[in-house]
Structure 1
């Protein structure tokens, strides 16, 4: 399992290529400023807005990893508010594949 603060694509590519089955990340604040029925406007990194929070996959060099990005509870110093993006604390239960 890989844990990274910010899900920059170069980091996700490295973890996935190295065979990590799950990558946990934050940093995006869930987009922080969202439009209802549209989604996030920004990600605070180079990750696409469709994967700004929640569970998705990431593929690199023929391998695929699960990626979970938590929206977290905070804001950033440039935009000290959240809109249409409720704070969250994520509880994940990991179970063996066997």
Structure 2
């Protein structure tokens, strides 16, 4: 009944606010996902230090903005064909994941 009494502008404003809220929640989900992906994409060090290295990487990623995360993800995690060819001789864990 209450919605029947609202004018069309109020209804449109409410709908837009709901859509904007959903969009912001989705962006926050992307940000959390990218923080995890960037922090765990590459962990290197002595076996006894891997836990602390990973913890530091997670801490570092936790303060990054979405823009920084996207830049790091595209730079470090996405590889084009030319970069893949350059890595073919490499035996590190990260390069093996691209094959």
Q: TM-score range by the shorter chain?
A: under 0.3
Higher helix share: 2
Higher strand share: 1
Structure-1-length-normalised TM-score: 0.23
- Structure number with greater Rg is 2
Structure-2-length-normalised TM-score: 0.23
Higher relative contact order (CA 8 A, sep 6+): 1
